[in-house]
Amino acid sequence: MSNFVNKKRRHMNHDAYPDNYIRAILNSVKSIAMVGASPVNVRPSYFAFKYLAQRGYDMIPVNPGHVGKELLGKPFIASLSDIGRPIDMIDIFRNSSHIMPVVEEALTLDPLPKVIWMQLGGRDDAAALKAESVGIKVVMNRCPKIEYGRLSSEISWMGVNSRTLSSKRAPAPTQGMRLSLNRMSVGGGDTAASDRAAKNKTEQS
């Protein structure tokens, strides 16, 4: 059962994503530009950047405040327009009120990114609508690190309900290895609490 963006009804239900939608995104994108990436190693963006790099994604840190420095060996870029090569996904680590300008800049890129992802706590339905209207897949209020960890069941080490099952023997994970995300899904996800958190959010760096 596939639940990708329906051709007649172009827009996702952004309250609960089918696992197949998230799985297809994480299985297909290779390069990810992270807007708002922080070099401070206790910030969520640092966690996610490092994890996704270790899982083999081509990570590009975008943050005008840190140009001239590097994040885990990757030079900071000032803006999406300065990347100068096609990117598959833009991961926006900014709070909801700063999302629209990033999406508007993303829509000027040629070629367009395939996916725009807004982090846990980030949601802007109008920006999502703009992106979806030109065929870009949108994920809001989710963390790609958590979703990758969940669908691979790697996050189960922390007692998290991966909402997946498998009777297959997985290879022993090693550093830098891509993990299989193709486990059987136990169904839906509830984001009501994190949606409330997004609405109440006042600060995010």
Partner 1 sequence: MSDRLPGFSTLAVHAGAQPDPTTGARATPIYQTTSFVFNDADHAASLFGLQAFGNIYTRIGNPTNAVLEERVAALEGGTAALAVASGHAAQVVVLQQLLQPGDEFIAARKLYGGSINQFTHAFKSFGWNVVWADPDDIASFERAVTPRTKAIFIESIANPGGSITDIEAISTVARKAGVPLIVDNTLASPYLIRPIDHGADIVVHSLTKFLGGHGNSLGGIIVDAGTFDWSTGGKYPMLSEPRPEYHGIRLQETFGNFAFAIACRVLGLRDLGPALSPFNAFMILTGIETLPLRMQKHCDNAKAVAEFLAGHPAVASVSYAGLASDKYNQLARKYAPKGAGAVFTFGLKGGYDAGVSLVSKLQLFSHLANVGDTRSLVIHPASTTHSQLDDAAKVKSGAGPDVVRLSIGIEDKEDLIADLEQALGA
Whether 78 and 62 have beta carbons less than 8 Å apart is answered as yes
Quote the least distance from Cβ 14 to partner 1, whole Å.
15
User: Looking at beta carbons only, is 128 or 151 nearer to partner 1?
Assistant: 151
User: Looking at beta carbons only, is 68 or 171 nearer to partner 1?
Assistant: 171
User: Looking at beta carbons only, is 105 or 195 nearer to partner 1?
Assistant: 195
Quote the least distance from Cβ 33 to partner 1, whole Å.
20
Residues that bind partner 1 (CB under 8 A): 1, 3, 18-20, 23, 41-42, 44, 46-47, 50-51, 54, 120-121, 143, 146, 149, 153-163, 165-173, 175, 182, 184-188, 190-194, 196-197, 200-201, 204
Quote the least distance from Cβ 99 to partner 1, whole Å.
16
Strands 164-165 and 184-185: antiparallel
**Per-residue exposure over 20-39, b if at least 16 CB sit within 10 Å of its own CB, e if not:** ebbbbbbeebebbbbbbbbb
Matching residue, tokens 């990810």:
32
Q: Choose among 4, 3, 54: nearest CA to 32.
A: 54
